[in-house]
A and B are shown apart, each in its own frame.
Chain A
Amino acid sequence: MKHYEPKLVCFSCKFGWGYLADEDELHHRIKNWVPIICSGKIDAIHVLEAFKQGADGVLILGCPEGDCHYQDGNYEARKRVYLVQKILGAYGIEPERLRIELAVDPEGKTIPQMVKDMSDAVAKLGPVKKVKERARTAAMAHR
């Protein structure tokens, strides 16, 4: 398969990842980086919507086990990821395209490498197939 640059979305918890870093600089190095407060904030809808809008992979970075600022947000995120992976599989999107890592890196130095590693893994899978949408035709004009 021809090599291509996969579109990756990376959500990371601000309590564990890159809070000491220069955010602008990191944004420059990581495309589609979405720092949020607590990985438990990421709803299944956000992940599915990312794939719908053309993402080839989604990486979620949460805090280490037992270290969530809100007690168990990272565990919640991990449980959701497991369920969403099953749903993705049924829709023909490889479950490996969604990954969660629970660790900590205040300076965020490892994030670009993690994104790259995942991007390489996703590149092997190729792009997510698009569903051909039918054009809404004449009848829609009647309003």
Chain B
Amino acid sequence: MAGKSKVAICWLGGCGGCDEAVVDINEVILRVVEAFDIVLWPVAFDFKYDHIERMDDGAITLSVINGNVRNADQEEMAKLLRRKSQLVLAFGACACFGGTPGLANLRTKKDIFDWVYRDAPTVVNPEKNYPKTKVSSNGAVLTLPEFYEQVYPLNQIIDVDYYLPGCPPPPDLIVNAFMAVLEGKLPPKGSTLAPHKALCDTCERNKTKPSRIAIRDIKRIHEVEAQSNTCFLAQGILCMGPATRTGCGETCININIPCRGCFGPVEGVKDAGAKYISALASIIDAEEEKDVKRILDKVNDEVGYLYRFSVPASILRKRRVSEVEEQ
């Protein structure tokens, strides 16, 4: 046992789908278990955090961390695993870019608490109780982790060695990542363990793309019957393919759903949404201001579309609020 490399798999602010994805590598997981000692995997095994705390610093070879950091508990866990691990892999869109929960960065903590604990139609809270970090009851002190003002991708909290994006990451790339660690064939620190190109470069439908796409009317996927073998953009349906890293295996495209961008920006790009703006603007076939507005106003919730998985990792990161609003 002692000679085996140790791996920890941990779930912070995410939906659990990434843990599920690890299980989805099927029988390969037996090879992983053969090669590694799993020292932590809350979703699957009953390990205690103080076991990790008692380990020597750097004793864990690899920590696979999925989910973003939204509260003090998640931050503590991320920092503990960083201290105990030689390598940290940010696993999944939430760990890499903040993920869908990162859209909450367009609201303040106060907005969120007011809605969840006061204003939502299903809430019954006559005593107006809000979560507190500390509360005394009959002499006992109860604590809750602090809920932060914003969502953080993992690399804004701890140093991250490698990234594996996706919602969730696909099995082939997960296996590659584990094998790369086992065989010591890792790319330079900071790399994303996925191809560098854009999704359009590997998309089957690229062949059907006309030499110049000209969108005169933007359609939403549920409003039309999308052709199953034609480029979505050529059909006027927004697809994040041009600005999104490939490697997902085109799973959405294969079921006739346009790319939503869960693999994040292509190599060398920081803000996929901004790049997509440039790509989209150039294929809108209009010059007059009123025509441009008519076409683009059909996009419902631009920021939600362009930054569905990446608000916390985008250039602006979070909504600016005045101090009055913040109180």
A residues adjacent to B (C-beta < 8 A)? 43-45, 48-49, 51-52, 65, 72, 75-76, 78-80, 82-84, 86-87, 90-93, 128-132, 134, 136, 138-140, 142-143
Q: B316 contacts A52, CB within 8 Å?
A: yes
Q: Once bound together, how far apart are the Cα atoms of A84 and B274, in whole Å? A: 8
Q: Say whether A76 contacts B282, CB under 8 Å.
A: yes
Q: Give the chain A neighbours of B185 by CB distance below 8 A.
A: none
Interface centre among A52, A75, A91, A136 (most CB of B within 10 A): A91
- Seed contacts A92-B321, A129-B320; 6 additional CB < 8 Å A-B pairs: A45-B278, A51-B316, A87-B273, A91-B303, A91-B318, A129-B321
State whether B275 touches A140 (Cβ < 8 A). Answer: no
* Contact assessment for B316 and A44 in the assembled complex, using a CB-CB cutoff below 8 Å: no
Cross-interface CB contact of B316 among A43, A48, A76, A83, cutoff 8 Å: A48
Chain B positions 44-88 with a Cβ under 8 Å from a chain A Cβ: 57, 78-79, 82-83
Q: Is the CB of A92 within 8 A of B320?
A: yes
CB closest chain-A residue, reference B283 = A79
Cross-chain contact B271 with A86 (CB below 8 angstroms): no
CA distance A93 to B303 in the complex (A): 13
Contacts of A79 in B (CB 8 A): 281-282, 284, 286, 292, 296
Candidates B159, B270, B280, B317; contact of A131 at CB < 8 Å: B317
Residues of B within 8 Å of A93, CB to CB, are: 316, 320
Q: Of B152, B274, B317, which contacts A45 at CB under 8 A?
A: B274
Write the nearest CB–CB distance from A19 to chain B, whole angstroms. Answer: 24
A129-B306 contact in complex given A52-B316, A82-B293, C-beta closer than 8 Å: no
Q: Which of A72, A82, A83, A139 contacts B159 (CB 8 A)?
A: A139
Pick from B150, B277, B318, B319: contact of A83, CB under 8 Å: B277
